[in-house]
Structure 1
């Protein structure tokens, strides 16, 4: 029975209240900050994962970050891991997850990456995913600290 249907002169919502059943609720619509192209504040940066060995995209044979180059790519490590763990993205780089990731980077770095292709390869990758509408699975290899 839908909420708008009636039973005699009694609506379904009234019927639910009278028999003690909780009213139906709509699921909240999730608004992604990136859809408005708003940049995150530095304080909003996701925490740095300490157990990541490597983040890579098998289809492209591309390593986003690994322990060997971690000191140079701490932002990428935190941002890609955050996207990986977010249920709405299902461990995939899509237009939506790429835009979210781009908004997590420092605004100046994103602007500089657009002006200097190749200097920020992970930002370049995110723009490629967004512009070409790619849908890529990415993997996170973790280790257990001893």
Structure 2
């Protein structure tokens, strides 16, 4: 019997006024349906878990790294400097604006709480040590 039905008794009345019991034990055909469903679900889960976000060959070695490899949380925070200006040019209802600001506040609190993970000392270098190059940018870890 499938696990779904283990908590049910062998016979359950149709409704409270009826005393005629109806068996809830699934037939052999029903068991086969559940078994095939379980097998199909397992196959689909395994397929989804085998997916990769990017191919193994990404990024190509002959190209500079993508900006997401170079820019980090410091650059994301710079967006918050311009955010009031950006939001001022958009039209939001008061309700939506409050909800959006609440999410921004929660996000900034999250960054503040985990600042050691997002802003490690190793991410900062002295200006004299920095290597600026548009042809070969490098990530600073």
Structure 1 length-normalised TM: 0.21
Larger relative contact order (CA 8 Å, sep ≥ 6): 1
Q: Is the helix fraction higher in 1 or 2?
A: 2
TM-score, length basis structure 2: 0.22
Q: Computing the radius of gyration over CA atoms, which structure comes out larger, 1 or 2?
A: 2
More strand as a share of residues: 1
